[in-house]
Amino acid sequence: MRILVTDGMDKTALESLRAKGHEVVEQFYAPEELGEAIRDFDVVVVRSATKVRANHIDAAKGSRLKLIIRGGVGVDNIDVAYAEANGIAVKNTPRASSNSVAELALAHMLSCARFVSIAGHTMREGKWEKKAYGKGVELGGKTLGVIGYGRIGQALGRMAQGLGMNVVAYDIFHVEGIECETMHFVTMDELLSQSDIVVLCAPSGDKPLVDAESLAKMKDGVVIINVSRGANVNEAALLDALNSGKVKAAGLDVWLSEKDPNWALASHPAVSCTPHIGAGTKEAQKRIGAELVDIVENFG
């Protein structure tokens, strides 16, 4: 098959596809060029930078394109239903990066608990702020609320329980056999009122999961972590809550706009921030590549 890789792929996976006889082209296309370009390929592999929308699919109708693969978990950058309605299959790699994203969420939790981000920043400015940042908290004994208890949420839940945390989770699906003394499924309102730390691991929906209404239901001094989608947080409401002290700290890996992030939020002293690197580990990229190869080889 002829395969277009728009946003990069693990080198081992590229070599494997070529060794199996596939022609692989690595090329990013601007949105206005993408629809015409994908007509010449059987498979298109994207990450988060490339958006495959209805107009691109319309342009590819009647061509050789039959499969779009998202190297990662979320597929909200692809109009999945429209593609499938037009005979184009859509696949993703949900297992490959779960552990890496969960570990980054945990890193942000620890950063918020111990002022790692701001304390390091002030030291690089030549300041010794031991008194200001020597008042952290331990994660052990705290209640972690995870919104979206899929692969990433469950991985984070296991890590948190290992640190002595109690985990409450909200999800429309309840996985059987995983509830125990330190992990329970609860309603959304119960999660918001009980949690010391709230982590977002859910797909984006019609409205943000964190907005003025949900923040009002949370504990004073709550910590918010988002490793899911930027649209899950009303950034203006979060910034107001940080300034008022309602939210003690926030850890953010995803943003409403990646071209122009909310710099006021990113530069807030109580925010630990990263530029959407949840799946950015060598191990995750190798697993994503291997899973992509399997999808291509088993597609038929």
- How is residue 38 annotated by DSSP? G
- How is residue 142 annotated by DSSP? P
Helix and strand totals (H; E) in the chain: 13, 12
User: Would residue 47 show up in a list of annotated catalytic residues for this protein?
Assistant: no
Catalytic residue among 36, 138, 258, 283: 258
Q: Which residue has the tokens 């990066």?
A: 97
> What number of other Cβ atoms are within 10 A of residue 62's Cβ?
9
Full DSSP string of 205-228? -SS-SBSHHHHHTSPTTEEEEE-S
d(CA 7, CA 165): 37
E-state strands within 157-196: 166-170, 183-185
Q: What are phi and psi of 225, to 5 degrees?
A: -125, 130
d(CA 98, CA 89): 23
Catalytic residue among 229, 235, 268, 291: 229
Distances (CA, A) of 71 to 92, 283, 290: 6, 14, 10
User: Would residue 114 show up in a list of annotated catalytic residues for this protein?
Assistant: no
User: Would residue 229 show up in a list of annotated catalytic residues for this protein?
Assistant: yes
Q: How far is CA 6 from the centre of its chain?
A: 19
d(CA 71, CA 287): 10
Annotated catalytic sites, by residue? Answer: 229, 258, 276
